[in-house]
């Protein structure tokens, strides 16, 4: 039903925007609870702006496939600020904010709109050219700070993209100290999320929303992106190195601060653990995990499920891990708890061939001075989209895995 409404809204869009019958078109859109909106970059049309971070360097690294060189791209990451708007509709599950008759989106998303898609939080429909908003019921609040985004319910996106904004909020002028952070309900219901959030709040209040719940905020601060990693891509598109970016210095500052809140002692760096990051049964996609675990046991690896650990237990585990293997995914965020300059983590993961330029975890490993290598995972059918890759079962060659492990541990 929701897709039918969105498709109907899209077909009515031109009618509602152009020609002598545009008023009728708008009325028809309103009947299905939609209205056309323009597109603006976050920062345009704001009441005031508050600088939080100067421009800085970024470096993005492609996955280092066994037997190949790693490519590194670098450049300037733009300044980061907070922008004040009035009377905005907000969902913490999307980077988009509805202000009057405009949909405000990050500049990077607008620039890559032909390839990159985003989570709308149910608030709007956007296909890169057409943008249509819902007319949702909402709860009115006097003020708030938007720090959510696409994938804010995902551990990687939450830690690397949302939490740094929470820390930056401490740099806002004192007049905004009473503005609460607006975050998804996962930050309250999932212990690891709530524990991580507590590390960076600095005494600021938080308001939580469920998906399909919205706040109408009379005075809203929107903080620019500090780390860019696409949540999803349009069908037929695959990751490119230019899809990724982050402010190196501040991400490292944030990760050092975050690590200090969870690790109170210096871990032993003499003999590190070897762990296989296992996924729980009945995961969204299956692979030959049990076969690979048995191969890894011969090299001294023990299976560990990070999801079963508290946040502090995860920090303690990874601070003492020297070698790690496992599927690409949010468990690799754990590498932030080990200081790569003193004792780099050496890891092995795998990706389908279509993800040869998927840079989220390889870039994180690069700026932390860890070494993360990759081998190829094979699906039983050609992948058609990133969504397809997200849910499709696959297999990793036991021979390739064993050879890669020998290279990883030097045996």
User: How high is the pLDDT of residue 29?
Assistant: 67
C-alpha distances out from residue 348 to 184, 286, 293, Å = 32, 18, 13
pLDDT, one tens digit per residue, over 322-375 is 999 999 999 999 999 998 888 899 999 999 999 999 999 999 999 999 999 999
pLDDT, one tens digit per residue, over 363-386 is 999 999 999 999 999 998 999 999
Q: pLDDT exceeding 70 applies to what percent of the chain?
A: 88
Can you read off the two tokens belonging to residue 139? Answer: 């709860």
Q: Which of 95, 152, 155, 120 is nearest to 34 (CA)?
A: 120
> Which residue has 């969105």 as its token pair?
6
On whether the 263-409 domain is CATH 3.30.70.20, my answer is no
Asked if residues 301 and 273 have their Cβ atoms less than 8 Å apart, the reply is no
- The whole-chain average pLDDT of the chain stands at 89
pLDDT, one tens digit per residue, over 162-187 is 999 999 999 999 999 999 999 999 99
With bands split at pLDDT 50, 70 and 90, how would you rate the model's confidence at 76?
Answer: very high
- How many other CB atoms are found less than 10 A from the CB of residue 399? 9
H or E element, residue 376: strand 371-379
With bands split at pLDDT 50, 70 and 90, how would you rate the model's confidence at 2?
Answer: very low
pLDDT, one tens digit per residue, over 390-408 is 888 899 999 999 999 999 9
Lowest mean pLDDT among 12-21, 278-287, 339-348: 12-21
Q: Would you list the domain boundaries of the chain?
A: 1-35, 37-53+76-233, 263-409
Statement: residue 109 has pLDDT above 80: yes
Asked if residues 160 and 364 have their Cβ atoms less than 8 Å apart, the reply is yes
pLDDT, one tens digit per residue, over 188-224 is 999 999 999 999 999 999 999 999 899 999 999 999 9
User: How high is the pLDDT of residue 265?
Assistant: 62
User: How high is the pLDDT of residue 342?
Assistant: 83
User: How high is the pLDDT of residue 300?
Assistant: 95
User: How high is the pLDDT of residue 284?
Assistant: 67
With bands split at pLDDT 50, 70 and 90, how would you rate the model's confidence at 246?
Answer: very high
Total-model pTM:
0.90
Angle, alpha carbons 73-257-302 (nearest 5°): 80
pLDDT, one tens digit per residue, over 50-65 is 999 999 999 999 999 9
Q: How far apart, in whole angstroms, are the C-alpha atoms of residue 405 and residue 411?
A: 8
User: How high is the pLDDT of residue 36?
Assistant: 77
Asked if residues 335 and 364 have their Cβ atoms less than 8 Å apart, the reply is yes
User: How high is the pLDDT of residue 1?
Assistant: 46
User: How high is the pLDDT of residue 340?
Assistant: 84
Statement: residue 38 has pLDDT above 90: no
User: How high is the pLDDT of residue 263?
Assistant: 86
User: How high is the pLDDT of residue 290?
Assistant: 94
Statement: residue 30 has pLDDT above 80: no
- Which whole number is the average pLDDT over 267-271? 52
Statement: residue 122 has pLDDT above 70: yes
Can you read off the two tokens belonging to residue 271? Answer: 């003999």
Angle, alpha carbons 386-387-391 (nearest 5°): 115
Q: pLDDT exceeding 90 applies to what percent of the chain?
A: 72
């Amino acid at each position: 039903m929701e897709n039918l409404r969105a498709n109907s809204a899209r077909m009515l869009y031109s009618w509602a925007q152009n020609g002598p019958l545009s008023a009728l078109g708008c009325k028809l859109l309103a009947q299905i609870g939609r209205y056309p909106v323009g597109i603006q970059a976050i920062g345009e049309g704001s009441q005031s702006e508050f600088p939080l971070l100067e421009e800085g360097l970024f470096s993005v690294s492609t996955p280092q496939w066994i037997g190949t060189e790693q490519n590194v791209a670098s450049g300037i990451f733009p300044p980061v600020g907070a922008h004040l708007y009035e009377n905005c509709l907000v969902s913490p599950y999307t980077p988009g904010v509805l202000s009057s008759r405009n949909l405000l989106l990050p500049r990077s998303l607008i620039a890559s709109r032909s390839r990159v898609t985003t989570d709308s939080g149910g608030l709007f429909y956007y296909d890169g050219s057409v943008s249509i908003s819902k007319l949702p019921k909402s709860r009115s609040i006097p003020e708030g700070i938007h720090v959510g985004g696409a994938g804010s319910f995902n551990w990687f996106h939450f830690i690397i993209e949302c939490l740094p904004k929470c820390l930056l909020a401490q740099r806002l002028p004192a007049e905004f100290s009473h503005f609460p952070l607006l975050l998804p309900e996962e930050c309250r219901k999932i212990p690891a999320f709530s524990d991580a959030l507590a590390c960076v709040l600095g005494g600021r209040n938080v308001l939580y929303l469920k998906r399909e719940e919205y706040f109408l905020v009379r005075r809203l601060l929107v903080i620019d992106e500090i780390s860019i990693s696409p949540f999803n891509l349009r069908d037929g598109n695959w990751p490119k190195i230019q899809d990724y970016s982050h402010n190196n210095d501040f991400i490292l500052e944030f990760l050092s601060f975050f690590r200090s809140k969870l690790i109170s002692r210096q871990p032993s760096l003499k003999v590190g653990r070897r762990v296989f990051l296992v996924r729980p049964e009945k995961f969204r996609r299956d692979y030959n995990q049990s076969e690979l675990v048995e191969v890894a046991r011969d090299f001294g690896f023990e299976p560990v499920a990070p999801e079963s650990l508290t946040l502090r237990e995860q920090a303690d585990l990874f601070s003492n891990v020297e070698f790690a293997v496992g599927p690409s995914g949010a468990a690799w965020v754990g590498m932030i708890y080990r200081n790569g300059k003193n004792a780099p983590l050496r890891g092995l993961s795998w990706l389908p061939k279509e993800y040869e330029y998927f840079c989220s975890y390889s870039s994180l490993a690069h700026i932390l001075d860890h070494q993360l290598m990759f081998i190829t995972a094979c699906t039983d059918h050609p992948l058609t989209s990133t969504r397809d890759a997200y849910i499709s079962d696959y297999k990793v060659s036991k021979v390739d895995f064993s050879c890669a492990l020998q290279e990883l541990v030097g045996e």
